[in-house]
Amino acid sequence: MADCKYSCKTLTGPDKPEVTWGEVEFMYERVMPIIAPNDSDPKGFAYFHIVYGGGNPYNWQSAGKDKWTAEAALNYSLSPYRIWTIDAKVTSEYIKVARKISARPKGTSYWIELTCIVENPANGDMVAQFIFHNGQIRNPTDCSGL
């Protein structure tokens, strides 16, 4: 039997639940200068994990001037997730943006800024890396490139 509110527990043995995933809230704050004011605001996030693949968080909404939030159900992993958005107002080309993205386990109040920003030198894409494990979000200790 599974108990799933903001995380899910699966039975791995007699009366021994193991939490395997949880819900995460993300917030993008536009901190880079606007260089194309007539272009559109971001429409959502995308994420990728080397084992679990990628997807798009749901419930994208405005959270104030130049702030947006969304949610995703993610598997726990010690390998990093990568997340980004496309904000056409702050880039001269259609590239991924990861400054400034914060995350928190759903149901908590404290946002954690994702500070491990990795840039692809070939095209300028930026992604933020983070670890989501045991109901906690943290920045990876190794912030290596793509």
64 sits in the region (left: phi over 0; alpha: psi -120 to 50; else beta) called left
In a domain, 21, yes or no: yes
pLDDT of residue 11 exceeding 50: no
Residue 5: pLDDT band (50, 70, 90) is low
Per-residue b or e along 68-100, where b marks 16 or more CB atoms closer than 10 Å to that residue's CB? bbbbbbbebbeebbbbbbbbbbbbeeebbbbbb
In a domain, 146, yes or no: no
Residue 68: pLDDT band (50, 70, 90) is very high
The number of folded domains in the chain is 1
Give pTM, 2 decimals: 0.84
Q: What is the pLDDT of residue 91?
A: 84
In a domain, 144, yes or no: no
In a domain, 145, yes or no: no
pLDDT of residue 60 exceeding 70: yes
Residue 2: pLDDT band (50, 70, 90) is very low
Range of the domain at 16: 3-138
In a domain, 131, yes or no: yes
pLDDT of residue 142 exceeding 50: yes
Q: What is the pLDDT of residue 117?
A: 92
In a domain, 143, yes or no: no
pLDDT in tens, 16-41: 556 689 999 999 999 999 999 999 89
In a domain, 32, yes or no: yes
In a domain, 79, yes or no: yes
